Structure 1
Amino acid sequence: MLMEADGQQGTELGSVSVGIDGEDEDVAAERRTVGRVSETGDSEHVIIVRGLRKVFPSTGGYPKKVAVKDLYMTVRKGEVFGLLGPNGAGKTTAVNMLVGYTTPTSGSALVGGLNIRKSMHLIYDMMGVCPQQNLLWDTLTAAEHLEFYGRLKGLSGDGLKTAVVAALKSVRLFGGDTGKKLVKAYSGGMRRRLSVAISLIGDPSVAYLDEPSTGLDIAARRNLWNTVKRAREGKAIILTTHSMQEAEVLCDRVGFIVNGSLVAIGNPRSLISRHGGYLIFTLTTTKACINTAKEQVSQKLTRNARLAYEVSRTLIFELPTAEVKISEVFFFAENVKSQIQVIDWAVTSATLEQVFMKVVAKAGITAEALH
């Protein structure tokens, strides 16, 4: 059993089961990692989640809801870990258990060596949170918000003043009198940037950013990404997002959560390689040529071509990279013009978003639920 940082014996977290039928091998490997670092007390793994489960009881005639199912994962110091999933997948519920907003039904987690079931009062001192909904006071300025939260983190005097100015500058709320304006005068994007600044003031060792870029324009979003990149050193950061681009830019590793379960985990490149070992070939033709186009792809490129989508006159195929080279697709696209009318075509490698959609589709999640 682990010893908590305060010298008290932590709650026993129980044994880790592996080899669950149908479980992704990377998810199983993460489960084994949890078991190993739980036993050794590896200080590099700042967050260790072991079997977290949350069940909301039935109410108002609705059945009970299993929001998070036995979640196992770790986050290392200096790592940004992205939790991705459709709406209602359990991302925010998982974060809410880690930050103390809701109590787990079973399982537990260690944050900085402290058990969330018995030492949240100590964990609060080492963590920062940017919740999904801004928790701000309209009658305070941005600077006053940061001063308040800075004091909660133990800052005072010149150190507090310096931290407030740095935080305002990091999210571009320092120029002119912006930091001195009441928050009620702020736009939605400015409020979001302030929430991120609050989560990072005091240099916490753990930060939870729940959809931090919601409502931001492109320029503000990129500035936020730079802020997170600068802040990651020495911290363990958990980020939830609907933006696959954001996940690819910021996250060292990501985990896909579907229906409360972790179904895939790894760095973005490895996930694309493992789950997306295919080229995306998009072909737009006439209605009369649709069937011929399908036949030509199967006969001339590979019989293992998979028709992923068919929208109007546009066909989108997945071509296994083990069987088809990108140069062969170029050759095919030019030569097939003698058989069908080609209005447009394109070929790309699989993206994280396409891999994500493929993984969640296996669970029967519709495209409408992803946004």
Structure 2
Amino acid sequence: MATCTIPIPITEAVLTAASVAEPSPGEQVWNSLTGYATGEKVILGAPTTTVTISNGAPAVVTWTANGLPNGTPVILSTAGALPTGLTAGRIYYVVNRSADAFQLAEVVGGAPIATSSAGSGAHTAKASIHRTYQSVKLTTNTGNPPAIDDGTNWYDVGPTNLWSMIDLYRPSVTWGVSPMTFQLTPGQRIRSIFLGEMDAETARVVVKVGGVTVYDVTSQLWTRKTFTPTDFCFKPWTRRKDAQRIDLPLYSNPVIEVTLTKSTGQVGIGEVVIGNPEYMGKTQYGAKRPFKNFTKFDRRTDGTPNAPKRQRNVPTASMSIMFDKENTPNLLDLADRSNGLICVWSGIDDDAHSYFPAALILGLATTFEPDLSQPDHGLLTLVAEEY
């Protein structure tokens, strides 16, 4: 069974607990009053403050010296009532920022939201940045907000350690001691969780509702395929990196607890995706898994090679998926909803199957082409490339 899972955003309201502490050793939380020397690292997590919100078209959020770039996710809460047009707990995005104010949009770069009442009570805004920055200023670096810096004072190292597993970029990994645990409270029904780029021996997923365990499955990540007596005696064990569960019980208020273990060394995980898998059809024989190799090397004038500059392989998955004609409207809708989004494209629903890693891509669909030449069944050509 082939599925596509469009990720549900994981914010501070969803990632409610974790054993990975921030800031990591050698980092500190950025403070506008602190002077930082060259090479020192700081993090920006979830800046939070009391704000005022105007009643207007568009509404203006006043946050003095906010330091938030356009596109930053923001969640609002209130002790009273938000201005009409805004909803507490919903994710909005900063647009038209200035030093002390900004507007909000429902999508990145979208139209600013208008309000039609003044609201009441004190309002709070929480931004979601979760980036690590390294000071590059040769003199003391004071009062320069890292998130809006042009590279003069700060270098953007990447996501913070805990949030590396949330950004969906395969090479970025969250590291911690075993057992590594984290808790997700999505606030809605979900049926799927994908755990990718793991460096662990076991991955346990527990779902609780009202404190009662309703689902508990542990994936053993050790794997060993032997084909000869020599392999059986001497071939080392390896570990698979990815696991996907698409059978979570559909409760409206689940709490999902994930535990990763490893007997020695640190545990790592690169991606966490939750959502609801969309059934596409049945993957047919003939699927392919080509790689784009970005390693480069050249040769000297006598033809001898210089040492290669090793870079990552970027895989793609190419597969044909047979679908019932009645599913055609759903596939067309999926093509629109997944456009430009990083999704989990899985050609096999059994993560223990030997073909599962080759038929899985966390990335973008570059080809989504239904063939309707048969009367009762169509054939979807899907090509997806890793992010």
Query: Which structure is higher in strand share?
Result: 2
TM-score range, shorter chain: under 0.3
| TM-score (normalizing by structure 1) | 0.25
TM-score normalised per structure 2:
0.24
